Each structure stands twice: as C-alpha cells, then as structure tokens.
C-alpha cells in the first residue's frame, strides 16, 4: 500500500473510537470529487449480528434478535468464518453538512430498493462522516464494455433500470448516472447503483420552466418575448432574472435540459445519462462525449441531432440555439450511422444486424431531446429490448 494511502487509512482508523475493533481496512478502492472509499472487513459480523432493523409498521428501529447457537451436531467440523466486506465511504470534510445529510437521508429512503446499494450505518466524529455500505464486487467498466453482446447489454441495462425505476418511484433524481456509479459484476451479471451525493428530490429547487406548459401557452410566451427590442438577437434591456438551474452531474452525461438550464428538471435527466452509457457501449467509445464545458457539450449533441432539432429542444425551455459551426448540419446523423462509423463497419456494412437495431430503437427512446417524450424507467422495463435479455 502506498505511503500516503496508508497514512490516510491510519488517520481514519484513529479518528473513530473503536474503529479498529469493528473494521479492518484493506485498501482504497475509490477516490472521487467528494469522497474516498475503502474496502474493509466487518469484524463484528457473524460474531454477533449487530444490525438494527427498521420496522415499517411501528416506524421504529428494532434491535437485532438474540442469536442462539446450536450445539447439537457433534460431527460438525469447525467452519471458517466467511469474512464480510464493507465499503467505507469517507465523505470529505469540505462537503456541507446539508449535503452529507441529504445523501444519507436519500440512501435511507431507498434502503429497500432492488439494485440500489443499501446503507448499513453511518458514523460521525467531529467533522468527519463515514458511510458503511455492503461491499459489492464489480469490474471496471472500461474492461468489459467493448466485449458486451447485445444480450449482455440488455441484462446490464435491465439491472440499471430496475434501480432507477425504484429511485424515480421515490421521486428522487440521481443526477450522476455514469459507469463508475453503477457497480456491475459481469460474472454474476448483477449490478448496484451507488453514489447519491448529488441526488435530490424532484421539484426541490423548482421554478416554473416553459417546458411544463402546453404547446400553445409556450408559443404565446415566446412570441411575447420576441417582440421586445433586440440588439443582435439579445433584448436591449434584458430585464429577465439570470437563469439559475441545478447543473450538478458529470460532463458528457448531462441531459440537454440541464445544459439549457431548465428550472424544472425531472427524473428524465437520469434516463438521458443511461442513453449516453448505451451509446458508449454500442459505439465502443469511452468517453463518447468529451466536452470541457456546457457549450461544447451542446455542440456535441447538436452535431448528432442537427441544428433544427436542437433549436426545438432549446425553445422548449425558452432558449435560442444559434450556431455557425460548419460541422453542425441541419439534420444531423442517425445513431445507426454513428455506430457503424465508430465501430469501423461503415465500409463493409450498410445497416446494423437485427439485434443491434433493436438496441438502437431503445437508444432513441432514451436519448430523446424532449424530456417529456423520453422513455421513463418504468416504461423501459417493458420495452422489447429489456425483455430480450430475459429470454
């Protein structure tokens, strides 16, 4: 183990009283913007079951049942205790207390959701908070995504959409769907969604956005706006308040409505991000989008969809989209084209095989520029493509 990592691990163990008797830190497994994650052995496990259960009927936490040990079987050989591993997420002390509380609270709300990594417990010592999660064995996305068959992709996405359907049913937006936040084990074909550090409840900092109006109302409001005096396309005296919208997320995975600063974002932003993952797998290019900022991200999306559709998408949120960039055509390119190109098959093949076509049909439903028409997680689970992996 690297000396710096060892130093941090020692410090962590010393900052919580009794830490060393509860957990044995093994190694660092992740280092992100907001936390460091370690793999550890849960030493208390099996010696006694110390986990409390939440009783939904009484709305109370109940202590663990007392365990009785049977000594009836004399022939039983001594079994070695199977170690239980946990992931210890050390949240950086620079995170705001509300933010830390938010993550833990949402995880607690989602504790019974399939394919969502549950929170075992959490500790605080002065300003340091750690979350304890069951350790989930997984492979690095970059190691397996190029070798996935369409069947594999269907199973992978079914698992991710199962998680999202429950998260969205709780009216929670994850906001940071990307491969490193969906831990997948290609061997067992199981996956869990992690990292609710940016997640929020739907409608938490909401101001009305045009996209929630019906077509006529939106048209009228846009027309009203356009009659005002303008200089070079901008209103002469712009009295509009500057737009502020939640832009949290990871570049390359942000939905168009996030880029257009929609103030009424919905759970559909997560669906777009899954679409980006699917496009990554089908095109065998990671990262597929590689923009440095939101404007570049818009250019990338506009290159695929074309100027006209991008304009429409902007208008939905009251934004004008103008560009003179020559590589942005008016009609864009089909996903099928893009996938054939990026997998170097455009010379030999004119169309994709049937199973990939089905995946592309599904991709179109995820990467719909209009969040209202974009498929929901619930609907996705019913889609032919996600049923395919089950057959």
What residues act catalytically?
A: 176
Q: Does 340 bind ligand ADP (CB under 6 A)?
A: no
Q: Does 135 bind ligand ADP (CB under 6 A)?
A: yes
C-alpha separations of 264 from 34, 178, 224, 253, 293 in Å = 25, 22, 21, 18, 21
Q: Which CB sits closer to ligand ADP, 31 or 49?
A: 31
Do 297 and 289 meet the contact criterion of CB atoms below 8 Å apart? yes
> Helix, strand or coil for residue 286?
coil
Q: Does 117 bind ligand ADP (CB under 6 A)?
A: yes
By CB under 6 A, which span of 58-66, 93-101, 128-136, 328-336 interacts with ligand ADP?
128-136
Other beta carbons within 10 Å of 305: 21
Q: Which CB sits closer to ligand ADP, 136 or 286?
A: 136
Nearest to 112 by CA among 65, 158, 53, 161: 53
DSSP secondary structure code for residue 116 in this structure = B
Other beta carbons within 10 Å of 365: 17
Q: Which of 15, 30, 43, 206 binds ligand ADP (CB under 6 A)?
A: 30
Q: Which CB sits closer to Mg ion, 42 or 195?
A: 195
User: Looking at the DSSP assignment, which residues form a beta bridge with residue 281?
Assistant: none
Edge-to-edge strands of the sheet including 85-91? 23-31, 35-42, 85-91, 128-134, 121-125
The span from the first CA to the last CA of the chain, in angstroms, equals 45
Q: Which CB sits closer to Mg ion, 195 or 336?
A: 195
Do 369 and 313 meet the contact criterion of CB atoms below 8 Å apart? yes
Binding residues for Mg ion (CB under 5 A): 32, 181, 195
Binding partner selected for residue 117 from ligand ADP, Mg ion, none, CB under the kind-specific 5 to 8 Å limit: ligand ADP
Query: Cβ 35 to ligand ADP, closest distance in Å?
Result: 4
Q: Does 115 bind ligand ADP (CB under 6 A)?
A: no
By CB under 6 A, which span of 62-70, 193-201, 256-264, 354-362 interacts with ligand ADP?
193-201
Query: Cβ 198 to Mg ion, closest distance in Å?
Result: 9
Question: Cα angle at 52 between 49 and 53, to 5 degrees?
Answer: 120
Binding partner selected for residue 34 from ligand ADP, Mg ion, none, CB under the kind-specific 5 to 8 Å limit: ligand ADP
Nearest to 286 by CA among 142, 184, 70: 142
The tokens describing 291, both together, are 């923009």
Query: Cβ 28 to ligand ADP, closest distance in Å?
Result: 9
354-366 and 335-342 helices, crossing angle to 10°: 120
- How many positions of this chain bind ligand ADP (CB under 6 A)? 20
E strands, 79-134, where? 85-91, 121-125, 128-134
Q: Does 160 bind ligand ADP (CB under 6 A)?
A: no
By CB under 6 A, which span of 28-36, 43-51, 292-300, 340-348 interacts with ligand ADP?
28-36
Lay out the site mask for ligand ADP across 65-104 (x = CB under 6 A, - = otherwise).
----------------------x-x---------------
Q: Does 206 bind ligand ADP (CB under 6 A)?
A: no
Lay out the site mask for ligand ADP across 217-246 (x = CB under 6 A, - = otherwise).
------------------------------
d(CA 188, CA 331): 42
Q: Which CB sits closer to ligand ADP, 34 or 329?
A: 34
Nearest to 276 by CA among 155, 129, 178: 178
Q: Which CB sits closer to ligand ADP, 37 or 328?
A: 37
Binding partner selected for residue 135 from Mg ion, ligand ADP, none, CB under the kind-specific 5 to 8 Å limit: ligand ADP
Q: Which CB sits closer to ligand ADP, 37 or 278?
A: 37
Contact residues for 268 (Cβ-Cβ < 8 A; gap 6+):
255, 257, 371, 372, 374, 376
> Which residues make up the interface to ligand ADP (CB under 6 A)?
29-30, 32-35, 37, 87, 89, 117, 133-136, 180-181, 183, 194-195, 197
């Amino acid at each position: 183990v690297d000396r710096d990592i060892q130093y941090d691990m020692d410090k962590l163990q010393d900052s919580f009283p009794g830490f060393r008797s509860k957990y044995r830190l093994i190694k660092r497994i992740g280092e992100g913007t907001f936390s460091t994650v370690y793999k550890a052995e849960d030493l208390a496990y099996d010696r006694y079951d110390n986990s409390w259960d939440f009783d939904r009927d009484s709305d109370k936490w109940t202590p663990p049942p007392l365990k009785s040990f049977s000594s009836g079987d004399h022939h039983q050989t001594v079994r070695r205790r199977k170690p239980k591993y946990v992931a210890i997420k050390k949240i950086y002390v620079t995170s705001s207390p509300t933010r830390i509380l938010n993550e833990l609270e949402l995880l607690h709300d989602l504790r019974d959701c399939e394919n969502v990594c549950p929170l075992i417990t959490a500790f605080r010592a002065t300003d340091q908070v750690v979350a304890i999660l069951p350790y989930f064995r997984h492979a690095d996305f970059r190691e397996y995504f190029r070798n996935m068959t369409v069947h594999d992709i269907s199973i992978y996405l079914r698992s991710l959409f199962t998680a999202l359907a429950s998260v969205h049913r709780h009216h929670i937006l994850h906001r940071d769907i990307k491969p490193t936040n969906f831990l997948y084990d290609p061997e067992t074909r199981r996956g869990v969604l992690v990292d609710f550090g940016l997640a929020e409840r739907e409608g938490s900092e909401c101001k009305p956005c045009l996209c929630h109006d019906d077509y006529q109302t939106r048209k009228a409001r846009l027309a009203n706006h356009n009659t005002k005096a303008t200089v070079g396309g901008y209103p002469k005296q712009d009295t509009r308040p500057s737009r502020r919208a939640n832009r949290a997320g990871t570049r390359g995975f942000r939905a168009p409505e996030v880029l257009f600063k929609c103030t009424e974002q919905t759970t559909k932003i997560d669906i777009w991000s899954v679409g980006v993952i699917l496009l990554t797998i089908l095109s065998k290019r990671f990262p597929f989008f590689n923009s440095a900022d939101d404007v570049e991200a818009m250019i990338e999306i506009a290159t695929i969809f074309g100027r006209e559709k991008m304009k429409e998408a902007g208008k939905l949120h009251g934004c004008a989209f103008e560009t003179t960039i020559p590589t942005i055509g008016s009609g864009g390119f089909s996903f099928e084209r893009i996938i054939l190109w990026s997998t170097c098959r455009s010379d030999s093949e004119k169309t994709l095989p049937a199973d990939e076509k089905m995946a592309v049909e599904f991709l179109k439903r995820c990467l719909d520029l209009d969040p209202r028409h974009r498929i929901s997680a619930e609907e996705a689970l019913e889609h032919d493509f996600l049923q395919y992996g089950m057959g």
